[in-house]
């Protein structure tokens, strides 16, 4: 009996050790991640939605969308923790099929010149990222005017090239040289595009991250000189714009004017965009925007009107309900129409 008791106690002890070991393994995990850099940062962003659209001509449609899904990794270097390599993959809807493409792939080196860092590779172009972080906070429901297909449709947010980024309290800028065709168009190497953004931060907030709670007032001059653009029928694409934004915790108001001075007739014209936010209560925003672009060849104009409400569910999720009208004599009856959109914007 004594022997049986000893064996029984040994089994209990062994079982306890095994359970403790398994718990330790489950807690610590068995996955090993190895890298030649000390820090890798992962993040993601998703635009999930539903759209009910009624065109001026044709059948109405109702459909769910995964408009965009971004997956990003940044590898920070040991020698300077502000230097990193970034890669961002992007999925987008294409006739009912989700395709994956490369959005960003660039090396960032900080402070290579006084107050100036540089992106080299498939990098940010100077304007769109600035507008989407300082003025138009709702990329999940609409691109900015210079990018949108039914707006001016001049450029997009990334391209292969080099971008010098300067930050001071009262001034910031981005000045770069790019292929000029954008990250998802054919590159023929026939011409390059010089692009810029010069911004005065009137309240001295140039070194701060723009937030709804921050009071700031910025004025920008931006544009590009694009030689022999393959995307634009092998014509030059030269344009510039001016932009102003004022933000305080209760509201935001912004406006811009653009002038396409030298381009194929399908792109040449002038236009403006106005947008605003009124923060009616904690976590609740009323939003509105109007775009207008007039073609120089008298072929017509393009108009976009947007109004909606946004609710911040938590720091990772925001819900948006909005109305969108697209109109103008340049658009076909199939392109014109009204849409009701419901959107979940998720960031992690």
Whether 11 shows a pLDDT value over 60: the answer reads no
Contact 74, 54 (CB under 8 A): no
Question: Is 48 found in the same domain as 17?
Answer: no
Looking at the domain assignment, is residue 75 inside a domain?
yes
Looking at the domain assignment, is residue 37 inside a domain?
no
Residue 64 CB partners (closer than 8 Å, separation 6+) = 49, 50
Question: Is 22 found in the same domain as 130?
Answer: no
pLDDT tens sequence across 224-243: 999 888 888 888 999 999 99
Question: Is 316 found in the same domain as 178?
Answer: yes
Output the domain CATH number for residue 48.
Answer: 2.40.160.10
Residue 24 has phi, psi (to 5 degrees) of -65, -45
The domain tally of the chain equals 2
Question: Is 264 found in the same domain as 220?
Answer: yes
Residue 79 CB partners (closer than 8 Å, separation 6+) = none
Confidence of residue 197 (pLDDT cuts 50, 70, 90): very high
Question: Is 19 found in the same domain as 166?
Answer: no
Looking at the domain assignment, is residue 181 inside a domain?
yes
Looking at the domain assignment, is residue 189 inside a domain?
yes
Whether 161 shows a pLDDT value over 80: the answer reads yes
pLDDT tens sequence across 246-290: 999 999 999 999 999 999 999 999 999 999 999 999 999 999 999
Looking at the domain assignment, is residue 209 inside a domain?
yes
Contact 321, 342 (CB under 8 A): yes
What is the dihedral sign for C-alpha 172, 176, 101, 40?
negative
Question: Is 343 found in the same domain as 198?
Answer: yes
Share of the chain above pLDDT 90, in %: 82
Retrieve residue 333's tokens.
């009856």
Looking at the domain assignment, is residue 262 inside a domain?
yes
Question: Is 136 found in the same domain as 94?
Answer: yes
Contact 73, 50 (CB under 8 A): no
Question: Is 169 found in the same domain as 26?
Answer: no
Question: Is 85 found in the same domain as 136?
Answer: yes
Retrieve residue 127's tokens.
């304007």
What confidence score (pLDDT) does residue 29 get?
Answer: 61
pTM of the full structure: 0.89
Question: Is 330 found in the same domain as 201?
Answer: yes
Question: Is 1 found in the same domain as 99?
Answer: no
Retrieve residue 130's tokens.
């600035």
Looking at the domain assignment, is residue 65 inside a domain?
yes
Q: Range of 88's domain?
A: 42-347
Contact 345, 47 (CB under 8 A): yes
Between the CA of residue 167 and those of 77, 107, 197, 220, 256, what are the distances in Å? Answer: 21, 18, 12, 14, 22
Looking at the domain assignment, is residue 304 inside a domain?
yes
Question: Is 122 found in the same domain as 267?
Answer: yes
What confidence score (pLDDT) does residue 24 get?
Answer: 40
């Amino acid at each position: 009996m004594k022997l049986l008791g000893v064996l029984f106690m040994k089994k209990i002890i062994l079982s306890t050790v095994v359970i403790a070991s398994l718990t330790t393994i489950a807690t610590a995990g068995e996955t090993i991640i190895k890298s030649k850099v000390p820090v890798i940062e992962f993040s993601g962003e998703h635009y999930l939605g539903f759209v009910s659209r009624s065109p001026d001509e044709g059948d109405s449609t109702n459909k769910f969308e995964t408009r965009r899904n971004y997956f990003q990794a940044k590898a920070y270097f040991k020698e300077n923790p502000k230097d990193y390599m970034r890669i961002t993959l992007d999925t987008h809807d294409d006739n009912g099929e989700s395709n994956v493409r490369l959005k960003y792939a660039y090396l960032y080196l900080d402070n290579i010149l006084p107050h100036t860092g540089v992106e080299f590779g498939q990098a940010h172009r100077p304007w769109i990222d600035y507008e989407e972080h300082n003025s138009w906070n709702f990329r999940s429901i609409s691109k900015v005017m210079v990018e949108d297909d039914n707006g001016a449709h001049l450029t997009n947010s990334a391209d292969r090239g080099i971008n010098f980024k300067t930050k001071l309290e009262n001034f910031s800028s981005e000045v770069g040289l790019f292929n000029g065709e954008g990250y998802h168009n054919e590159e023929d190497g026939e011409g390059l595009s010089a692009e810029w953004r010069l911004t005065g931060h009137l309240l001295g907030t140039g070194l701060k991250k723009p937030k709804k709670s921050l009071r700031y007032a910025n004025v920008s001059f931006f544009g590009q000189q694009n030689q022999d653009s393959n995307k634009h029928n092998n014509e030059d694409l030269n344009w510039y714009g001016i932009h102003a934004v004022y933000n305080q915790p209760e509201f935001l108001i912004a406006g811009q004017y653009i002038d396409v001075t030298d381009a194929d007739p399908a792109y040449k014209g002038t236009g403006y965009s106005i947008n605003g936010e009124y923060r009616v209560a904690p976590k609740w925003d009323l939003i509105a925007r109007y775009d207008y672009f007039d073609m120089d060849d008298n072929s017509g104009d393009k108009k976009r009107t947007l109004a909606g409400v946004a609710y911040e569910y938590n720091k990772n999720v925001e819900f948006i309900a909005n109305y969108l009208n697209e109109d103008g004599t340049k658009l076909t009856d199939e392109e014109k129409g009204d849409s009701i959109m419901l959107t979940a914007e998720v960031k992690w």
